[in-house]
Amino acid sequence: MCLAIPSKIVKIDNGMGTIDVDGVQRTASLLLVEDATVGDYVIVHAGFALHKIDEADAMESLRILKEAAAFAEKKENEQ
């Protein structure tokens, strides 16, 4: 299963972006996203930003991912 994570661009250098998800920063290629700027939210998969997403949608997606992780952890602890 593949999972694309909404991430905020905090720095751009030569087509590469430093992206942030809940304080965890990584580097991702921005070559597939036209007009990416610092502060934009992008969907990132396998080290590539695939497209921009608005902040409200990014926050909702992250909330759902956190809920799913908490649910999975709870189920695992019940076993």
The model's pLDDT over 25-62, given as tens digits with 9 standing for 90+, comes to 999 999 999 999 999 999 998 899 999 999 999 999 98
pTM of the model: 0.83
Domain formed by 5-78, architecture: Roll (2.30)
DSSP notation for 29-45: E-TTSTT--TT-EEEEE
Whether 1 has a pLDDT exceeding 60, the answer reads no
Region of poorest pLDDT, from 12-16, 26-30, 66-70: 66-70
Q: For the beta carbon of residue 6, count every other beta carbon within 10 angstroms.
A: 20
**Could you give the percent of the chain with pLDDT greater than 70?**
97
pLDDT of residue 22: 85
